[in-house]
Amino acid sequence: MNLTAAFADGCLPGVSPDVYSDADFRAIADMIYAESGNVLPQGKAMLVYSRIAPLVRKSGKQSFADYIELIRNDPDLRKSAVDALTTNHTFFFREGHHFRHFADHVRPHLVEQLEAGGRARLWSAGCSSGEETWSLVLTLLGEDRPQGLRLLKRDVVLLASDLAAHVLRKAEAAAYAASEIRDLPPKLQANWLKTAGDSLVVNDEARAIVRFRELNLLGPWPMRQQFDVIFCRNVMIYFDLETKERLVERFVEQLKPGGYLYIGHSERVSGPAVDRIQCVGPTIYRKRAA
């Protein structure tokens, strides 16, 4: 059913097609795909309305059509629209089997590597508001605080990137309500978080190893070094097959031989990169040795 029919059937009560039409939805969907690679099927029409309507009002325009014309020629406003439609809900230790695998199978190798004078590079790609990033950092530093402090003196960096600047600011602030960290193991909380008013904040020691960058995954990547670990979860679910396959191929290229790629529970790997990686757990892949 297109939006015109939806309005006729009363599916969008109180919204006139003169304000938001099927053509408006298609124009926004095309723009979002061009800017971010995200595919917005017809079933997301109401989501688009709910996310974009506040921006239409803020712009002073009376209709989505007028707003669309405005943002076509204004990169900053267009980016605000993209950000509004590409921000995902997340939480600490989401898909916990990934962090258990990292703790049990990857962390010991990274600790050994660092303590031998090597370096470790990790990437939280599509980090959103930071819950994934900090879950990974705290798992790496661990419940043994003296060991974690030793690791912080080594050459370890975690890159946290996202397309949306406003969620990156929240991620970098690293401040969360107690209800948002309810799944955080008490020992990790005691080791690496501090209280600040009504919030719990990741402490400066743990924050020192994270670098935040605004980055469109479909654009150029400035990173020169390869990574030991890449987390990109529940990002590719919104891409078409060709875009997914191209992105996975780039991730694999960016991994060291033996490095790990973690993707979302409803995502799958396909395309040319498949022969270069081995599935070692549910939605966990390891790059084969060269």
Residue carrying structure tokens 């975690």: 158
Spatial CA neighbour of 152 closest among 200, 188, 206: 206
CA distance 163 to 49: 21
- The active-site residue out of 51, 145, 213, 246 is 51
Say whether 92 sits in a helix, a strand or coil. Answer: coil
Catalytic residue among 162, 228, 233, 286: 162
Active site residue 211: no
Which two three-digit tokens encode residue 14? 């109180």
| Helices 107-115 and 145-152: angle between axes, nearest 10 degrees | 60
| Per-residue tokens: 132 | 């994934």
Burial class (CB in 10 A: 0-12, 13-18, 19+), 3: buried
Please identify which residue in the block is written with the tokens 């992105």: 247
Q: Tokens 């190798």 correspond to what residue?
A: 109
Cβ neighbours of residue 8 closer than 8 Å, sequence gap 6 or more: none
Burial 235-248 (b: 16+ CB within 10 A, else e): bbbbbeeebbbbbb
Is 204 catalytic? The answer is no
Active site residues: 51, 162
